[in-house]
Structure 1
């Protein structure tokens, strides 16, 4: 989560508030599937659907293909199917297979690399699938649609005193978040979003509708937990374990920019062994005035001030300011969502690094990368988030998400012009050097290979993908 969440935290930081940010990269991705020598009969597909078909000639095409990152407003999908039933998904997949057209899937449309509106692809938009948030009070599990937004899910569950571990942006679709892992402010206590997944229904490239769970298609279930969205089929529903909600304190600590490296190291070392009901992140923002280093902590209610004091003492730090408040579950969620501004599409560039061990040298490299940002280009933010706690409980090979024994995730984010942003992002990766062992697949960058995001789990994931999608029909926007 973030708002002074990961995304909200970033977006508020970029807006000059106390907050955080995201990123993305621009370039079209050509589907692996080869174009059919005979033009597809789109009219025939449209006549079979319960939903709507939009083509480049359709009046609503620009709206239908629009996604959150407006850097991709110029993308040209072959067509968009607004699926109104699972049958629509199956018909669209069958059509794409017959006509050798790659498939791009949209749930929330927040892919950093515009993967839900790829050039020349058939986009299957899941936002019109019927259903809602179905909580089973007996088992405390919830079944949701793939395009259900985080805010909608959390709001409905909070009315029953339940929640699922999830990210921060209010309009992110649950499927995309889950399939890539799902980092957030509940991760140290409850694990990733994908760790709470009980089962998922999906339409395979063959057209078959299956359920993936530990007992049914367990290989698919393994791959769906952290392997990334749009790789294996079209997910049509997800079922999660839920957990009881409580109030939480949120503490905001600010530090001089010249102490940022010490803050990162001290916070990380303290966080690694802190109680699991404590979560936190470090935010560094530059470019809109004096650089800012901020630590956000989430703690049990009534403990924020004392926990912050323990962290400062253990890390040998002194904060310039220290503010604590107690929030209800939904106030907590909304705080990390970043407000209404977080809902509006925007043009951004973002990426990530996974830090194996947070040494002083690694922290210095993070600060150096931020100091290298061209001040005249606008603002940029780095968000550092611990991978400790419940994230570590699962073996790195037990799910496709591989980063279970590493120290932290870094998200790089800017809404500045793409040329400056892309160069800075490349230089940031270079500055980290061997301290970075990969990236987080929910923060992908154009041109990066899948190996950077799946690490040692790549071979197993590719074998599963080859089994279920031998023709390469599904397109995720990430290189093989």
Structure 2
């Protein structure tokens, strides 16, 4: 066994010999079981630089971690150096300049709390412990996307530590190609994010939180909801966005839930969503006009502290026929052995997302209608292989009816992941990778690769 000298590392260093290692190595997806050599909790950019230098000196691979939410666990690994920026969580709001600057470890909940208390919305994600830097690097879906755009569309500057341990600032005037890439090209490809600066949106104090659910309903009712969903999105007010989940739950049975947010009053929401009211008698139709901060708290609090799951997501461009809808619903007709919850979900797109072209930033799939997510959740680890196989098998059909994959909902099974994640923007991204990480210091199983000639 190789003995390593950890004295060159700064920050809080956790090795396999430390008591906290078992807790520190875990991902939000508890089905990820990886054993890094060392985890470095960085407090300053010097800690980050030292960790990069130490990893290179010892010929070790680097993984970058902020919120621990990578679906396939690529923010960790076996016998790697995990550079964890979660302790770098400062937030600075400058209302005179109309900006907010955050450090690389800030989470969705952190920024919602900070800005929400001041009356600002933010185009963040739904899960509270997701790192904002990871969210933004992949583009960033959220319930505000149709009004405020992707999380990355509000980004005006990024600061990262590169493979040499040096700090690079990227914006529209400096290192513009890197700035372009950092808005949609997934995390972990170009360096370690230590800060991001965003333009503040206009203040919005109140919003309507939407919860619609049809519990233990018949297949024909689920199809009717699906058809209604599709029709509503054809001409939808950009102030509203919705996520729909067709589920098979051990607790609730088969059903369909819709969660959403409208930057407007309850009466407006009720009018827009009227077609959903009379589809089934088994419907919960709940609209609450509350502060934007409280709405985001409710959405975040609906997520568990962790899960065991296999999940992925791809882009929907087609208008599905009734037969397609039946096939999609049938994907979750039976759960895998040991599964407590399976779902196929549609995440609303459109609106402000389409104000930019697919070449304006690295996020390519701006003209898609939805993201289709698919997942299975289990509790006992012995059922993990069966659930993973179940998802892989069903996903073969989803691949046929979708186009391209969302890098923040990754799948290890993609045969041509680079093209799936980045479309025609891949060629420019490879140039950026070659320029800013020529030795592929930041390498992981689905990283952007430099072509060898």
| TM-score, shorter chain, exceeding 0.5 | yes
- Aligned-residue offset at 1:234: 0.2
Q: Distance in 2 between matches of 1:81 and 1:254?
A: 43
1:317–1:351 distance in 2 versus 1, CA, 3 Å: same
Q: Which residue of 1 aligns with 2:272?
A: 307
Give 2:419's match in structure 1, choosing from 441, 445, 451.
Answer: 451
Q: 1:371 aligned to 2:328?
A: no
Q: Distance in 2 between matches of 1:319 and 1:209?
A: 59
Gaps of 5+ in 1: 1-37
Q: Which residue of 1 aligns with 2:386?
A: 420
- Aligned-residue offset at 1:273: 1.8
Q: Distance in 1 between matches of 2:120 and 2:144?
A: 13
Q: Secondary structure at the match of 2:440?
A: coil
- Aligned-residue offset at 1:40: 7.5
1:257–1:147 distance in 2 versus 1, CA, 3 Å: farther
Q: 1:354 aligned to 2:319?
A: no
Q: Distance in 2 between matches of 1:189 and 1:297?
A: 13
Q: Deviations over 1:72-115 (max 9, x none)?
A: 2x312121111121011111112222332111011111111112
Q: Distance in 2 between matches of 1:385 and 1:257?
A: 23
Q: Secondary structure at the match of 2:364?
A: coil
Give 1:194's match in structure 2, choosing from 142, 152, 167.
Answer: 152
Q: Secondary structure at the match of 2:97?
A: coil
More moved, 445-454 vs 193-202: 445-454
Q: How does 1:225-244 map to 2 (within 5 A)?
A: 225-243=183-201, 244=203
Is 1:257–1:293's contact at 8 Å kept on the other side of the alignment? no
1:272–1:392 distance in 2 versus 1, CA, 3 Å: farther
CA RMSD of aligned residues (A): 2.2
Q: Distance in 2 between matches of 1:463 and 1:371?
A: 45
Q: Secondary structure at the match of 1:69?
A: coil
Gaps of 5+ in 2: none
Give 1:167's match in structure 2, choosing from 109, 113, 125.
Answer: 125
- Aligned-residue offset at 1:283: 1.2
Q: Deviations over 1:185-235 (max 9, x none)?
A: 100000110111111100011222011111111111111111111111000
Structure showing greater relative contact order (alpha-carbon pairs closer than 8 Å, 6 or more residues apart): 1
1:254–1:125 distance in 2 versus 1, CA, 3 Å: closer
Q: Secondary structure at the match of 2:75?
A: helix
Q: Deviations over 1:331-377 (max 9, x none)?
A: 100111134x63x2332221112112232254333212122434763
Q: Which residue of 2 aligns with 1:25?
A: none
Is 1:286–1:375's contact at 8 Å kept on the other side of the alignment? no
1:364–1:334 distance in 2 versus 1, CA, 3 Å: same
Q: Distance in 2 between matches of 1:455 and 1:317?
A: 38
Q: Secondary structure at the match of 2:332?
A: helix
Is 1:254–1:319's contact at 8 Å kept on the other side of the alignment? no
Q: Deviations over 1:353-402 (max 9, x none)?
A: 21122322543332121224347632212221121111111111211111
Q: How does 1:250-269 map to 2 (within 5 A)?
A: 250-255=209-214, 256-258=217-219, 259-269=221-231
Is 2:123–2:149's contact at 8 Å kept on the other side of the alignment? yes
Q: How does 1:100-111 map to 2 (within 5 A)?
A: 100-111=59-70
